[in-house]
Amino acid sequence: MGRKTSKKHAGVNVDHTIESVSGGNVDDNGRPRKDNKTTPVQQTSFVRNSLFLMSSHHCANFVMQALASQAKSQDHELVQVYVTSITSLEEHHVLEASKDSSGSWVIESFLNSNISAKQKRKLVAKLQGHFGELSVHPFGSFTVEKCFTASNLNLRETLVSEMLPLQAELSKTKQGPFPLRKLDIDGYARQPDQWKSR
């Protein structure tokens, strides 16, 4: 028998979270608001504080992915709140989300969106020092691939150099051979200057 699903995750009510982010008519204690409008600063703070839990929630992560897909309209207030919130996450939260079956989809959607390259690199930089660890993780390996695509040359070289010591281990995992080939880890190991000039 499958486990019961709930709209509550670690004490966060997702319906209430989404309503509050969009300027719902109740406050954090469920009381009616006198003013239905929330400021961008309040919204950013709220989303940032709830983002990790929402990203790893089995339903709310789809809301996060939908926001990333709307990033072509970056003038939309809620998209701006989302971008500011996800790029200001603590490094350990970005790492945890990248290893989570739902959270990794949120990170990948952000990196795969029309959000500016500068904002993407800001998020990728938070995973420096963990690319090797993520590459051997069942969910994290896909995030690493998206990080590589979103990165400039310096970040790409950092990413690949962190994966290099785990080349043998990666080749034994189910998902490992694909990023090894796509990122040409072996080519970097043999001729790094040529790899960088591609």
Instruction: Look at 93 and 8; give whichever has higher pLDDT.
Output: 93
> Which range (18-22, 120-124, 140-144) has the least confidence?
18-22
pTM value?
0.69
**Average confidence score pLDDT of the chain:** 75
19: pLDDT strictly greater than 50: no
Contact yes or no for 115/68 (Cβ under 8 A): yes
- Comparing CA positions, the residue from 154, 102, 100, 101 lying closest to residue 124 is 154
d(Cα 22, Cα 134) in Å, to the nearest integer?
A: 33
Look at residue 12 in the predicted model and tell me its pLDDT.
39
**Are 163 and 144 contacting, i.e. CB atoms less than 8 angstroms apart?**
yes
Mean pLDDT of 7-35: 44
Is the per-residue pLDDT at 51 higher than 60? no
